[in-house]
Amino acid sequence: MCKRTQTYVACIWESKVLQARKLNQHYGDSHILWDIDFHVEPGSCTCVLGRNGVGKTTLMDCIVGLNAISSGDISYSGETLTKLSAAQRVRHGIAYVPQGRQIFPLLSVEENIQTGLLMNAKSRTVVPQHLYDMFPVLESMKSRRGGDLSGGQQQQLAIARALALDPKVLILDEPTEGIQPNIVEEIGDVIRTLHTEHKLTVVIVEQKLAFARRIGTHFVILERGRKVADGPMSELSDEIVSKYLTV
């Protein structure tokens, strides 16, 4: 590859990176996140791992703008997001499926997905068929109230709602928590398709190690609010697992 092409490719690559630099966050007097550097390659699936209470959700909330940071910088596509509201970050293509799903229980399945469409620049109101193709169970239940779905179906609904935004980056916080194994498999297949075939950048907080190893291309480990390890998933050794993840 010639030097000019190399520079061009490097530019495109750099421009789509999601990055956090030296992030610090406090809840009142409690210092929760400490100098976190976080770098997500475009088109990768980065799994954020760590024991309970180490700051995984806090970090995701900071990235999407639901939590204020005390210092540091968050950027995407070379543009700083730090001062933008959560809604503005959505318009930059960052979608979030929060821990516990938080679907609207009284709205129908279809209406829940339409709330995602409301934030989409294409201003569509009809749910795109590809979302139902991804989660056929949602099409068969589109008139049912969200709150009447099983936990696994609600998780699929929350993912479909986030995908209705046509995001460039999808952030999921523990999407397999409390969900039956066959739906965990289905969700894993969808996430894999999203980043391998559709080149969507995925960041996923996950406690199930086997699941993370199956779908992840990279990992980041937090321990007491600090990043203690990261790298390609192939480098997640048993030694690292027993040091930072085994309970």
Ligand X SMILES: Nc1ncnc2c1ncn2[C@@H]1O[C@H](COP(=O)(O)OP(=O)(O)OP(=O)(O)O)[C@@H](O)[C@H]1O
Binding site for Mg ion (CB under 5 A): 56-57, 99
Which one of ligand X, Mg ion, none interacts with residue 55, CB within 5 to 8 A by kind? ligand X
- Output the DSSP codes for 110-144: HHHHHHHHHTSTT---SPPHHHHHHSHHHHHTTTS
Which range of residues in 34-42, 52-60, 69-77, 149-157 is near ligand X by CB under 6 A?
Answer: 52-60
Smaller CB separation from ligand X, 166 or 223: 223
Instruction: Identify whether the C-beta of residue 110 lies closer than 8 Å to the C-beta of residue 127.
Output: yes
| Burial state string for 198-211 with b = 16 or more CB within 10 A and e = fewer than 16 | eebbbbbbbbbbeb
Which range of residues in 10-18, 56-64, 79-87, 114-122 is near ligand X by CB under 6 A?
Answer: 56-64
Among residues 16, 56, 161, 195, which is the contact residue for ligand X, using CB under 6 A? 56
* CB-based contacts of 56, cutoff 8 Å, min separation 6: 48, 49, 50, 173, 205, 222
Q: Does 178 bind ligand X (CB under 6 A)?
A: no
Q: What is the four-CA torsion angle of 103, 108, 111, 116, rounded to 10 degrees?
A: 20
Q: Does 175 bind ligand X (CB under 6 A)?
A: no
Among residues 5, 52, 143, 242, which is the contact residue for ligand X, using CB under 6 A? 52
Q: Does 54 bind ligand X (CB under 6 A)?
A: yes
Q: Return the ∠ at Cα 192 (arms to 190 and 194), rounded to 5°.
A: 70
Sign of CA dihedral 27, 33, 22, 62: negative
DSSP 145: B
> Shortest distance, CB of residue 57 to Mg ion, whole angstroms?
3
Q: Return the ∠ at Cα 52 (arms to 48 and 53), rounded to 5°.
A: 95
Which range of residues in 15-23, 46-54, 123-131, 144-152 is near ligand X by CB under 6 A?
Answer: 46-54
Among residues 20, 36, 45, 50, which is the contact residue for ligand X, using CB under 6 A? 50
Among residues 9, 27, 80, 178, which is the contact residue for ligand X, using CB under 6 A? 27
Q: Does 55 bind ligand X (CB under 6 A)?
A: yes
Q: Does 58 bind ligand X (CB under 6 A)?
A: yes
Q: What is the four-CA torsion angle of 165, 170, 173, 174, rounded to 10 degrees?
A: 110
Smaller CB separation from Mg ion, 77 or 99: 99
Q: Give the span between the Cα atoms of 205 and 90, in whole angstroms.
A: 19
Which range of residues in 27-35, 38-46, 105-113, 185-193 is near ligand X by CB under 6 A?
Answer: 27-35
User: Which residues, in sequence order, are bridge partners of residue 67?
Assistant: none
Among residues 7, 53, 130, 185, which is the contact residue for ligand X, using CB under 6 A? 53
> Shortest distance, CB of residue 245 to ligand X, whole angstroms?
11
Q: Give the span between the Cα atoms of 98 and 22, in whole angstroms.
A: 23
| Binding region for ligand X (CB under 6 A) | 27, 30, 32, 50, 52-58, 99
